[in-house]
């Protein structure tokens, strides 16, 4: 079996990060969002969905190999993106961002709805 065919077999494997984040946030404890954080917009989305902290490793590996300045440049880009997302949602601070209404559509929205139905005993 060629790699692309093998990849298609496992395309729907696991629970998407967004769905996992929402489910864990519903439990009420501290939430750390990692895996799939690739931008300041991803950080904003994770916070709006309930994360208290976000971590990103993979996007920083290459900049780290190039040096401290490149890591700082990348992180400053994330910060700029986060600030723009906050401006666009009307959030003046991180606490405000946590209360921004979020709309989840498509397959992810369907999954969140299915899990909510299971959680509510429907």
Asked whether the beta carbons of 34 and 28 are under 8 A apart, the reply is no
* CA pseudo-torsion sign 118, 34, 38, 97: positive
Beta bridge partners of 53: 32
The domain of 45 spans 16-100
Q: What pLDDT was estimated at residue 121?
A: 39
Question: Is 114 part of a structural domain of the chain?
Answer: no
Q: What pLDDT was estimated at residue 15?
A: 83
Question: Is 4 part of a structural domain of the chain?
Answer: no
pTM value? Answer: 0.81
Can you tell me the distance from the alpha carbon of 50 to that of 17, in angstroms, rounded to the nearest whole number?
12
**pLDDT tens digits, one per residue of 53-97:** 999 999 999 999 999 999 999 999 999 999 999 999 999 999 999
Question: Is 35 part of a structural domain of the chain?
Answer: yes
What is the mean predicted confidence (pLDDT) over 96-113? 88
Indicate if the pLDDT at residue 111 is higher than 60: yes
Question: Is 119 part of a structural domain of the chain?
Answer: no
Asked whether the beta carbons of 54 and 78 are under 8 A apart, the reply is no
Q: DSSP readout, 18-32?
A: HHHHHHHHHTTS--E
Question: Is 66 part of a structural domain of the chain?
Answer: yes
Q: What is the count of structural domains for the chain? A: 1
Q: What pLDDT was estimated at residue 77?
A: 98
Question: Is 31 part of a structural domain of the chain?
Answer: yes
**pLDDT tens digits, one per residue of 37-54:** 999 999 999 999 999 999
Residue with token string 């519903």: 26
- Share the mean pLDDT of the chain: 89
* Segment holding 5, helix H or strand E: helix 3-9
Question: Is 2 part of a structural domain of the chain?
Answer: no
Our CA dihedral for 87, 89, 94, 96, rounded to 10 degrees, sits at 120
């Amino acid at each position: 079996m060629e790699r692309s065919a093998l990849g298609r077999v496992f395309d729907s494997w696991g629970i998407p990060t967004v769905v996992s984040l929402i489910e864990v946030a519903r439990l009420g404890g501290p939430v750390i969002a990692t895996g799939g954080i690739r931008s300041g917009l991803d950080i904003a989305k994770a916070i709006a969905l309930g994360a208290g902290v976000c971590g990103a490793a993979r996007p920083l590996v290459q900049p780290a190999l190039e040096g401290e300045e490149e890591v700082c440049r990348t992180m400053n880009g994330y910060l700029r993106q986060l600030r723009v997302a906050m401006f666009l949602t009307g959030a003046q601070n991180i606490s405000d961002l946590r209360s921004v209404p979020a709309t989840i559509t498509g397959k992810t929205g369907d999954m969140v709805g299915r899990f909510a139905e299971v959680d509510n005993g429907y």
